[in-house]
Amino acid sequence: MLNRRSFLSFATAGAAAATLPVALSGMAHAEDKTRPAPHMMPIPADAPNVAILIHPGMVALDLVGPLTVLTILRCRIFLVWKDKSPIATELGFSVPPTHTFNECPNDLDVLLVPGGTIGTIAYMNDPVVIDFLADRGSRAKWVSAFCTGSITLAASGLLNGYDATGYWALTRFLPLMGARHVDQRVVVDRNRITAGGTTAGIDCALVIATKLKDEEAARRVALILEYSPQPPFHNGTPAEAGPERTQKALEHRKGRDAEVEREAMLAGQRLGI
């Protein structure tokens, strides 16, 4: 049970984490204890190391939701990319990587891959990206992805032989790279945690929180975020939307989905599947 002091401490952390620039500033100085970011709680010495792959064209919400959860949980976050050039999201604003692939720790508690179809198409057969994922993922305690990030993760071979899910329009391509698609919002198979489309990133991060800490810690984060979705209608899955709306959505995606399928087939061939 939370006492008043504990609740205020978590609420303060939550308010800070909800502001992306502040959270990024805190991560950039996570290892520099002489320069703590304002309003950020210190990162414990034994904090879990979490690497999040960011890439040009990524979906901003794919990053912000899980980043907020894991920052409140007081993880040590590494936003990783090939270099430290600002990463342009699909909304037009940019996010600076905190570490390059080479600077990312070799041994991670969590390797997390968010999504964004444009980036998925561009990087699922990029040898630099795939080699990084395969290397860090081979040793990470937990390997996780959601939205189209599950497709990128599958392209690295890390979902071969695992139950997995991802963005509903693309999950049909997971078997091309050896994964078994399971139609659930979050799927846990051994140390692999995958989840559905963009908003499922928060669910995914909360499941990760239960693995890194415990359910009570994850529940505290959910309370701080007041995470209790009540949409005005239920239309977020093909089952809820119905066949007509789902088909219309697929028609709008036809060109890019064909590109994903092409890259998935190439990845499957590269993986010998």
Active site residue 147: yes
Burial grade of 21 (CB within 10 A; 0-12, 13-18, 19 or more): exposed
With a CB cutoff of 8 Å and minimum separation 6, the contacts of 93 are 60
Give the CA radius of gyration of the chain. Answer: 18
Residue listed under structure tokens 């119905």: 242
Angle at the Cα of 203 (from 45 to 265), degrees rounded to 5?
Answer: 100
Q: Which helix (H) or strand (E) is 189 found in, with range? A: strand 186-189
Integer Cα distance of 245 and 101 in angstroms: 40
- What are the catalytic residues? 147
